[in-house]
């Protein structure tokens, strides 16, 4: 059976991310090619156009449901998209915090993120010189006064699912005390 037919059957003739039923096409999930249905997802035109740079944040609220898919390829796409949205959308970070991926699926999801970060050029290193990647967990090594938020991020606080597309060079995005903030990498230690 051709891959497209397998995906149509698996997805019940709808986009595996947003459930749209028109303009569907097979999307291979990097680093794989469309060699098997296991490494692909069936996506609508809107999802395909915004995968690399999600611009319509409201469209991606559909990930609240699709991130729970049993299909690893769909889980990877949901994680990557949420990771890109997390820096600017608090609801995306909340979903990312809830999402659990099996270790092999998590590794697959991070492969694409490492490639994206290398393209951006800036390599971020923690206080010990370990390279930071999107989705990593870090610990704060010094009490930090969070300007504008009215609290101190205490030493030893764990920050999960960091994002590297912070607006300040040398900083990462993360959630502390329920607030999305930017943290200087020299005050962080990779877990």
pTM: 0.61
In eight-state DSSP terms, residue 130 is P
Q: Other C-beta atoms within 10 Å of 39: how many?
A: 19
- The domains of the chain are located at 3-118, 123-190
How does pLDDT run across 12-66, given as a tens digit for each residue? 999 999 999 999 999 999 888 777 899 999 999 999 999 888 889 999 999 999 9
Mean pLDDT of 102-109: 91
Q: Other C-beta atoms within 10 Å of 178: how many?
A: 9
Residue linked to tokens 């003739």:
13
pLDDT at 165 (0 to 100): 67
Distance CA 30, CA 108 (A): 8
Q: What share of the chain is helix, strand, coil (3-state, %, to 5)?
A: 35, 20, 45
pLDDT at 148 (0 to 100): 76
* Angstrom distances, CA of residue 83 to CA of 130, 143, 155: 20, 26, 25
Distance CA 125, CA 121 (A): 13
CATH of span 123-190: 2.30.30.40
Residue 26 φ then ψ, to 5°: -75, 130
Which range is most confident: 32-36, 140-144, 173-177? 140-144
């Amino acid at each position: 059976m051709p891959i497209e037919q397998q995906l149509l059957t698996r997805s019940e003739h709808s986009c595996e991310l947003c459930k749209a039923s028109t303009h569907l096409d097979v999307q291979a999930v990097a680093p794989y090619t469309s060699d098997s249905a296991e490494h692909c997802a069936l996506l609508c035109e809107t999802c395909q156009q915004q995968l690399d740079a999600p611009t319509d944040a409201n469209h991606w609220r559909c990930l609240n449901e699709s991130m729970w898919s049993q299909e690893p390829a769909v889980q990877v796409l949901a994680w990557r998209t949420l990771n890109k949205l997390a820096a600017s959308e608090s609801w995306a970070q909340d979903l990312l915090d809830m999402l659990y991926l099996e270790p092999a699926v998590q590794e697959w999801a991070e492969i694409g993120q490492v490639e994206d970060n290398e393209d951006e050029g800036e390599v971020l290193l923690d206080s010990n010189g370990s390279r930071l990647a999107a989705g990593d967990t870090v610990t704060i090594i010094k009490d930090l006064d969070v300007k504008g938020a009215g609290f101190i991020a205490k030493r030893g606080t764990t920050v999960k699912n960091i994002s590297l597309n912070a607006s300040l060079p040398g900083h990462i995005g993360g959630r502390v005390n329920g607030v999305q903030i930017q943290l200087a990498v020299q005050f962080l230690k990779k877990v």
